[in-house]
Structure formats: C-alpha cells, structure tokens
Structure 1
Amino acid sequence: MELEKLFCDVDDFCSDFEKKWQRELLATSDRKRHKKFNLCLSEVMTIIIYFHQSSYRNFKDYYTKHVCTFFDKYFPNLVSYNRFVELKKSALIPLCWYLHLRRGQNTGINFVDSTSLEICLNQRAKRNRVFKELANWGKSSLGWYFGFKLHLIINEFGEILSFMITPANVDDRKPVPEMTKNLFGKLFGDRGYISHKLFELLFQQNLQLITTIKKNMKNRLMPLIDKILLRKRSLIETVNDQLKNISQIQHTRHRSVCNFMVNVIAGIIAYTYQDKKPSLNLTIEDLDSLQEADFLPDQTLALAII
C-alpha cells in the first residue's frame, strides 16, 4: 500500500464528507469554537490506516519512531503522540463511512464466519473497566476468552461485503439477517449457522443459506457447485487470520472504547488495500462448467452427498 495513493484517496473522501457532515449537524444556540487542528482529518485517517500495513505491533512505537522520523516531510505539522491519540476519536465516524465505500461487489457467492476479538487476558477480565458492561465471555476453538466477536461476510474474491461487532456471547446466527439485507445468491457457513428459521428468513430475501451438517443429521443431496464452494469456506478463515495477524485488529492494550473501534475499522480498511487478497480464482468459465455438471444426474448423485 503506497502512502501517497492512500492519502489521495482519503483526502478526496474527506473533502466531500466534511461538507456534507457540516450540513447534517444539528444547529444549537450555544456558541462553539471551531478551532482548526494542526493535522487535518485526511492526515489523521491516513496515519491511522497506514499503521495496519506497517511492521510495527505497537501504535506508539509506530508514531514516535516511524511517523515522526520518516513522515515529517509528508506531514509537516505533526503533533505529539498524546495529542494524536486525542485526535483519533474525531476520525471514528469518517472511518466508518469510508469503510462503507470500500466494500466489495456482491457476486452472489458469499461466505460468512465470525472470529474472536480478545480485549484483555482472561486473568484480568474481572478488573477490566474500559469495557465494563460491553464485552463478555465467549468460547472459540482455542478456548474461553473475554471480549467481542467480529462477524464477517466476504465474496469469492476475498472482498469484505458486510461486518458487525458484537459481545462474545452473542450467537453467530443472530446478526446474519441484518448483515445480509443487500445480498443475494448463496451464503456458505459452518455448522454454527444451522437453523431452519434462519434459512427461511434468508430465502425470503433471495439468499440461500448452505451449511455443512452435524454428525447426527442425515446426508442430503446438493448441486455439485454448492458442494465444491462449501469446501472452499476456509477462504474466510484466511481473511480472518490476515485481519488479526497482518492488519492487527486485535490487541489487549486498549484504553478507551472509541480507540478500540478506530483500531478495528482502520485495520479492515487497510485490508481492503491489499494488492493480493485470498481468492478462489474462479473464472466465469469455471462457474459455467460446474453449473453444467449439475445437469448430469450420475455426477451429481456421486459427488453431492455430504
């Protein structure tokens, strides 16, 4: 991700966003000071997003040792680290809108999954005050943790279509109807999304829910293309892994809820700028050939039994 390209994109967005934002603000009779910051909004957003594609694991080291040393020619009005932490809060809403514009294209092939977002060590969960009455206990494949869940929907090109953050104890199926309002086609998920009620609800939205089955469930027939795409569901797990290990959306040093949200959203935005995203590399010819194979009854019966 090139710094200049990132800044140009963000600055174009901010020039349009700030005008609309000022028009939508409710007017009050109180007099307010509109003091300009040394760093403009686009500069603050660029520095925050670029951190998630750097090799630094700590934002303070990144800002004090990298930004202040090598980026002073790009940002001549840099402020102190403590002041920049205060400015991060003003970037939350613009980052949310910018992420909305960075969403991928709905192709009809969708994958859904959730991943844990730990906010502290388990031993310190009872002493955590920052996320009191917000975070909760949840259980992942690695065991119990205290924090939140990131629910994610992507297409076959690894592009993010929708996401939601909930407490860790929320069922994976609960946010799906809200996340899939503008989607169509087929939605592939794991066993945690098995629900007849959810299937019927999504079917009314022109979206077919396809999941693997549990051991105590009977095998069922499905089209060959659905069976193959269901086996490729690990694509979204790769995306989750990159968000947590490359974009660094998870760490246990948060000092405010607002900065936690800024960190997660900026990390997802940084992922959208990756040149090579995890992808199935399916062409239109591949999809057409798989759909044609569904009309061959012998192949379908032999391969489509889970």
Structure 2
Amino acid sequence: MQGHLKTIPKTNLIQATVRKFVKIVTPIYQLLPKHFRLRQNYRQLKVSDITIIACMLARIDLRDPSETHFHHILMASGIVVPERSRYNRRCRNLFQIMKMIRQYLLKRYRHDCTYEIIDSAPITLVSARRSNQAKVLRAIACKGYNATKQLYYYGFKLHAVMDNAGYFVSWELTPANIDDRKSVEELLREAPAHQVLADGGYLSRTLQKRLKSQEINFWFPLRKNMRKSGQVNSAFLKNQRRHIETGFNNLNIVGHFEHPRTRTLIGLGSRLAALFLWNVIKVHSNLIQGKSGLRID
C-alpha cells in the first residue's frame, strides 16, 4: 500500500466562492419581507434565489466578463443552476432583492463616516461614431461627454456616492446627457452626510446653499476667480475626492460595468445591483482584516 500513489483532491474554486457568498447572503435573505421571498410557485423552484445571487457575486469576484461563459463554468463545476436562458431571467428578476440585501448589509457594516464623495462614470453601449446607427436601448440611452476621460460616448451615466471607508452607499443610472448636479440631492437623500466632496462638474453656488440649509457642507474645487469666497480649496481635499475614481476603477476591473454588453435596461440594472452588493461585502472583508476598503486582491 505504501507504494501506491496518493491523490489529494484540489478544492474547487468556483464551489468554494459560491459557498462563501451563500453563507453571507442567507441570514440577510431570511429577513426580507415575505412577499419577496414567498412568491407565487416559489416551492417549485429547483434553484433558490440565494444560490443565484451567490453565483452572480462569484462571477464578479472571479472577474469573468461573460455571463454565458460563467454559466458553462458553473455547470462544469457541478453547481446546479437552471439552463442558460432561464438562469439569465432569474438574475434579472433579483434586482430588487439584491438592492434590499445591500441596504441591510450597509446598516450592519457601516459606522459613522467622516465624509462622502459624489461622482459619475460613463457606461458605454457603443462608440460615439456609431451612435447615430445604434439600436440598443435607443429610447433611453443617448450621447454624452465624459470630461475626465475627454471622450464622447453613447450610453448611460452612473452617479454614485462613496463614503471614506470605501462603501458605495447610493447610486443612480441616468441617460448620458444628464447634468451631474441634477442627481445630487436625490443621491444624498438616501445617504446623508455632513461633509460631501465633489469635483468641478458639480460647481454650483445655488446647489451648495440648498444643501447648506440641510446641514450638508458641499465642497467642490474653486476656479481661480472664486478664491475670495472664503471656501477652503485644499489640495488634501482634492486628493481625498479622487478616492472615488479608484473605487470606480476597481468596480470596472471586477465587474466590467463601463462596457456591459447588455441589451436590456433590467439586465444592466441587475448587473449593477450585484456589483454594488459585492462592493459592500468586499470592503467589509478588507476592513476586518485591517486592509484599505479600496483594495482589491
């Protein structure tokens, strides 16, 4: 017997990742209202909502850009999932549930934040040169300009608020030509903070005064002819504001949201909901290990 080869089975990475997210999501899912959990014919589901959500989070964690490719990997790894088209529909239908789970986790994980940062990022469906012939979500998407990357694009604009720990606490999707300042008050209503940092695209004295009446100090970098206004134009605040750009870059690395390859609005929404849910779980995991909330391994 000593001469026989010994085989040590390797841990299946896909199964281990899915199991990790199932463990996190399950206790929160049980707290959701019954009309979300106990839907019509819910007893006939062969795969639970928790497993589907865990698979979506595992795809982000493993940085797989293709939903079809990842579905094949799930089946090859021995994970029981519906056939591809039904799996896609199940993912789309869990949009609201994932948002509610994220809100529960934020309430549990977040502590008093020092400040929040607001910014926007482009979501490109097709290149600007093809925008006149584009048919994808033509009734909703439009052409816009991204000042940070200095490019025109056709698609949507993602507005988001991130706190100083690295949690994305609220987000909103608008057509690409919507001014950044129009979504500020609605985003901050969901996640109010006394100190909010923004870039030059949010420069508005009227908006600043309205937020001041709500006890929100809204900071943005000043132009040269505005230095006598009494507002601090610190290089430190400018550097702190750039943390949200790192956060957007991290989300794009793992979730590929800037070029989503989707043809439906609910598909894009469910992908973003899963991505921001993953962000809450990842940031919490980093913080309890003593790492930065902006770090991805």
Shift of 1:42: 0.8
Give secondary structure in 1 for the equivalent of 2:139: coil
Measured in 1, the distance between the counterparts of 2:138 and 2:101 equals: 29
Shift of 1:33: 5.7
Measured in 1, the distance between the counterparts of 2:294 and 2:260 equals: 27
Q: What is the RMSD of the two structures over their aligned residues, measured on CA atoms? A: 2.5
Give secondary structure in 2 for the equivalent of 1:246: helix
Instruction: Give deviations 1:205-229, integer Å, cap 9, x for gaps.
Output: 11001111124433554569x6523
Letter of the 2:197 counterpart: F
User: Greater helix share, 1 or 2?
Assistant: 2
Equivalent residue, structure 2, for 1:205: 214
Taking structure 1 as reference, are residues 46 and 127 closer, same or farther at Cα in structure 2, changes over 3 Å only? farther
Letter of the 1:54 counterpart: L
Equivalent residue, structure 2, for 1:114: 120
Equivalent residue, structure 1, for 2:61: 53
Measured in 2, the distance between the counterparts of 1:106 and 1:147 equals: 35
Q: Which runs of 5+ in 2 are unaligned?
A: 1-15, 287-291
Return the match for 2:293 from 270, 277, 284. Answer: 277
More deviation, 226-235/187-196: 226-235
Return the match for 1:6 from 8, 18, 21. Answer: 21
Equivalent residue, structure 1, for 2:31: 16
TM-score if structure 1 supplies the norm length?
Answer: 0.78
More deviation, 4-13/118-127: 118-127
Taking structure 1 as reference, are residues 33 and 247 closer, same or farther at Cα in structure 2, changes over 3 Å only? closer
Instruction: Give deviations 1:110-164, integer Å, cap 9, x for gaps.
Output: 1111111112233443343341221111101331001111111111111112211
Return the match for 2:74 from 64, 67, 70. Answer: 67
Equivalenced residue count is 266
Judge conservation of contact 1:120–1:253 (CA < 8 Å) in 2: no
Give secondary structure in 1 for the equivalent of 2:276: helix
Equivalent residue, structure 1, for 2:145: 139
Give secondary structure in 1 for the equivalent of 2:52: helix
Judge conservation of contact 2:208–2:217 (CA < 8 Å) in 1: yes
Q: Percent identity of the aligned residues?
A: 18
Instruction: Give deviations 1:56-110, integer Å, cap 9, x for gaps.
Output: 221111110x21122x2xx3x3222122112222211111212222334451411
Give secondary structure in 2 for the equivalent of 1:232: helix
